[in-house]
Structure 1
Amino acid sequence: MSSAMTSDTPRPAPGAPKQRGRVRRRLNSALRMFAALVFAGGIYAIVAPGGAQGAAPLTPAAEAGKALYDQSCISCHGANAQGVAGRGPSLIGVGSAAVEFQVETGRMPAARQEAQAGRKPPLYTNDQARQLGAFIQELGGGPQLPEGEDYASKGDIARGGELYRINCSSCHAFSGGGGALSSGKYAPTLEPATDRQIYAAMLTGPQNMPVFGDNELSPQDKFDIIAYVQNLKTDADPGGWGLGRFGPVTEGLAIFLVGVVALVFASLWIAGKS
């Protein structure tokens, strides 16, 4: 009787306890992973900037800049300055320095897509350009210009000349007159550039210009270069006609043409006399 009951009792399938243990381990691992994710998310929500409070409100200058941005920039750079493919790049991280340079020099807003955006009469005032810069700065951060308008008085002209000849003269020429580059591009003249515009160009590297960060040219180095460039504009030509200060090429060409013309007239005069 007992043997019959024992034989009729169902026995667990081989490996069933191992399978149930494996399932429990997997469930426990999943629960631990979920708890860890919840804990990490809670910590991030607490310590992340603006995580619980949302985005910080814009300053009055940035609010005014946003109104200008929505009016003239949004179609090319997007609602959140993220850029629009085929129209304009992202402005996140470019900083107020780049915005001020492009807007104050009239390069932006751009009239059309071309090899290089040239300087033209600006659409906005300097104050409006700085409001636009404040909006982009608060939106995504980036390089900023030092306070003030007069940087040249803080620099050393002689040392600035050395730095300029090493870093700038190959494109802008020794006198800051600019020069041609490849593919229809060019280095513009520095004649109309202000202290802040020169500093912003060195700091942000617009278009074909390399970026000279503070690890390459310190703020004092930039002040020195600005002092030299601005001194060039007031420095007289003691030798006479400067020929645009483009260097020995124009000087040699002028001497050659004047000399050839003088020789031709001299030859004709001699021939006529003889």
Structure 2
Amino acid sequence: MASKTPRRQTGRRSKWAAAALIGVGLLLTGGIYAGASAAMASTEPSAAESQLTVEDGKKLFQANCATCHGLNLEGTDDGPSLFGVGELSVEFQVATGRMPLQMQGPQAPQKSPQFTQEQIEAMAAWVQSEAPGPSYPDDRILDGEGDLTAGAELFRINCAMCHNVAAAGGALTEGKYAPALTGTSPLHIYAAMVTGPQNMPVFNDMTLTPEEKRDVISALMYLQESEDVGGFSLGSLGPVSEGLFIWIFGIGALIGISVWITAKSN
């Protein structure tokens, strides 16, 4: 009988094979878990998307504004009382970044807002519930469909002496200034007229009717969307910037040409 010899194995299992299999298994498990978690998170509303309540607005106000304006809107030595300012004033001041105030000065500058729009509206709603005042206008006031001619005339009579006839803004006294309105939203134009922020006078319905406010807003919206047909706007500062441009570049060019002609003739 032929003797049976055991068959020798041609390969040898590496000692790292088990570790590699465990690692692959862990990676697959982790990947599946991460994908499932991301899918579930995408279907749940985030904190920013959830509807904030008036109570949330109170907490935000007391945490960020009460130092100057008081826990109950009574005001302090560092900030005025907010009784009667209404939600529209809060929305304007906070949404334009003027509040919270960075430092005391002649005027609060506009900057990027520090809160989301939902947080701003929640704080405004709390202030309105505690100390009612001017509120949001009807959508019709902000639709831009008013009388442009009447609005432009009203703007020139009531606003151009500070904001410039082209709404480019201008300097006032003691470091104060009237901001440019070339990028201001219709809501904030209305809010400024109704609440009178900074050095702005209040235009109540006896001074400018709601329809006249609509006309002014429509004229400013048209001005924002229009292009300068004359070329360079030169800051829309009128004869001052135009005359300076002529003196520097116009007369300067004439002098340069005269010198060049004289040098060529010699």
The alignment's TM-score, normalised by the length of structure 2, stands at 0.77
Is it true that 1:71 corresponds to 2:86 in the alignment? no
Aligned residue number for residue 228 of structure 2: 237
Deviations 1:88-138 (Å, cap 9, x if unpaired)? Answer: 110011111111110010000111111100000001122322221111111
Deviation at 1:188, TM superposition (A): 0.6
Q: Specify the code of the residue in structure 1 equivalent to 2:192.
A: A
Is it true that 1:131 corresponds to 2:122 in the alignment? yes
Q: CA RMSD in A?
A: 1.6
Preserved contact between residue 142 and residue 218 of structure 2 (Cα < 8 Å)? yes
User: Which of 234, 243, 247 matches 2:238?
Assistant: 247
Preserved contact between residue 141 and residue 214 of structure 2 (Cα < 8 Å)? no
Deviations 1:163-199 (Å, cap 9, x if unpaired)? Answer: 1111111111011110110000000111221111000
Moved more, 255-264 or 117-126: 255-264
Deviations 1:54-112 (Å, cap 9, x if unpaired)? Answer: xxxxxx74222112101101111111010011x11100111111111100100001111
User: Which of 188, 191, 194 matches 2:182?
Assistant: 191
Q: Specify the code of the residue in structure 2 equivalent to 1:116.
A: Q
Deviation at 1:247, TM superposition (A): 1.5
Deviation at 1:148, TM superposition (A): 3.7
Is it true that 1:80 corresponds to 2:86 in the alignment? no
Q: How does 1:16-165 map to 2 (within 5 A)?
A: 61-85=53-77, 87-148=78-139, 151-165=142-156
Aligned residue number for residue 174 of structure 1: 165
5+ long unaligned stretches in structure 1: 1-59
Larger gyration radius, structure 1 or structure 2: 1
5+ long unaligned stretches in structure 2: 1-51
Q: How many residues align?
A: 214
Distance change >3 Å, CA 150–CA 142, structure 1 → 2: closer
CA distance in 1, matches of 2:133, 2:53: 17
CA distance in 1, matches of 2:174, 2:57: 34
Preserved contact between residue 152 and residue 230 of structure 1 (Cα < 8 Å)? no
Aligned residue number for residue 35 of structure 1: none
Moved more, 146-155 or 219-228: 146-155
CA distance in 2, matches of 1:65, 1:192: 28
Preserved contact between residue 54 and residue 123 of structure 2 (Cα < 8 Å)? yes
User: Which of 201, 205, 213 matches 1:214?
Assistant: 205
CA distance in 2, matches of 1:214, 1:131: 27
Deviations 1:198-225 (Å, cap 9, x if unpaired)? Answer: 0000001101111101110111111111
Preserved contact between residue 95 and residue 140 of structure 1 (Cα < 8 Å)? yes
CA distance in 2, matches of 1:203, 1:264: 53
CA distance in 1, matches of 2:169, 2:222: 16
CA distance in 2, matches of 1:147, 1:127: 20
Aligned residue number for residue 29 of structure 2: none
Deviation at 1:233, TM superposition (A): 1.3
CA distance in 1, matches of 2:202, 2:67: 27
Identity of aligned residues (%): 47
CA distance in 2, matches of 1:186, 1:114: 12
CA distance in 2, matches of 1:147, 1:224: 14
* Secondary structure of 2:251 counterpart: helix
Deviation at 1:244, TM superposition (A): 2.3
